[in-house]
Structure 1
Amino acid sequence: MILKCPDCDTRFAIDAAKLEPDGRRVKCGKCAHVWFESAPEAEEAVLEPITVTPLDSDIDPAVPPRNVPALRGEKPARGARTAWTVCAILLVAIVAVLWFGREHIARAVPQAEAIYASVGIDAFLPPGEGLAVEFNVSAESGRLSLTGEVINISDRPRAVPELHVVISDEAKDILKTWSFETGSPTLGPGERASFSSETDEIPERAANVSILFTSPNENS
């Protein structure tokens, strides 16, 4: 009797009597596929060689199944990734130095001021940048007194410029000005510098007192 493997279409010869009376399971000798074959209605000629083995019980696979490890995606080379990280850190550091240290760079290399200006950046910080002033005014016995503090409200050291006192009238017209220094050339982040100043020449129409980091002539 000729059998045909339903899986790989290989043909085999088998003794038909071995399938009687109700058929049985057989295994392909080529691909090891197992299937149920019914008994033939009539005997068929037997061809040799016989390569199909009838099975009397459940088949144990010749090779036990194994779990196939999951394929791992390719990881970028660690060296290349580290190189890019280092380059990025260096670039950020260079930009930070050029920006926050531009005043020192311009003082050390005068030509740098023109380079900064060519890209629209002032090499030197405006006077009083990052600073704030708090003060009180008192007028007694014909004398005007000012006491207060200059405060560094930034996160880096700042130079303390000369302070300019401006006395103006109700119309904001300047009546009197004078300048003084705090005695503290620089302030660290959060630091304060106390100051006091006074004058015994109080204009008759004096109405407002202000303290500026730049001369009022520069602001006009």
Structure 2
Amino acid sequence: MIITCPHCQTKYQVTYEAIGSVGRKVQCAYCQRAWQQEPVRPEAPPEPADQLFEAMAEDGLDEALAAEEKAVAAELAQRLAAEQERETKPAGELDPAVIRKRQKAFLRRQSALIAHLPLARLRRAARVGGALVLCGLIGLFYFGRVQLVERIPSLAGVYASLGMGVNVVGLDFSNITAQRALRDGKDVLIVSAQLVGLLPDPVAVPPVVVTLLDPAGAAIYEWSVTPSVRDLMAGERSSFDTQLALPPGEAARMRLSFGATAGNVAPRQTTPISGNAGPSAPQAPISPEHP
């Protein structure tokens, strides 16, 4: 049977015989208070064998209560010692995980407070404004590169180093050939190419400058040709050719460029010279070049 302390509600498992038929006074091992325990009638009468041990069970109840009292006292002493140890434990011996958790919580609270200060708002606005200005400069540098190079020709080299050649003329060369030939026993250099329009609006075609280069890339001879077409627009092409009698024998390459433009901004192309030269002008290959 189970009896319950009416003061602290601690429950105990005892036999019916330990209480007896008239009840007895018992003491709680937890709160140390006593009460008169009334008998609890079992549903069925006890067996004869149980009646033989009624007196022994009553003595066993005292022993059980005493053992329970010792166990409860030991548990209370253990809890008290643990609480005292936690109270007297130095701050440096706290669990590192607990310290990190407290630090993170403190930093979150501090950041939340700082974020609402006027100076913090000003810094955020400055960062956003700086990012927008940077994006605008990058967009201008990329999409407005033609206009920038027109105003600052030295930027053409910067774009070329980044692999973004800038053509501010609006014209380009294609199908370039340079060939040596013999005519009337004389060595002749024949140059031909096509001019290509790149812009949607008509672009005036400037003179074309033909430059002969030696194997080291140095210019050794130069002349200009005025194309027959006056202007070109996107999708339009115009052919031109020119000849040079008795070209220099050391010429290795031929370069085409547009005259009357900012030197390093105008598109240039070089091409090898092919064909057979006369006895006084050895054969010199010339290849296309993009400076």
Where on the TM-score scale, by shorter chain, does this alignment land: which range? 0.3 to 0.5
Name the TM-score, length of structure 2 as normaliser.
0.31
Q: Name the TM-score, length of structure 1 as normaliser.
A: 0.40
The structure with the greater share of residues assigned to helix is 2
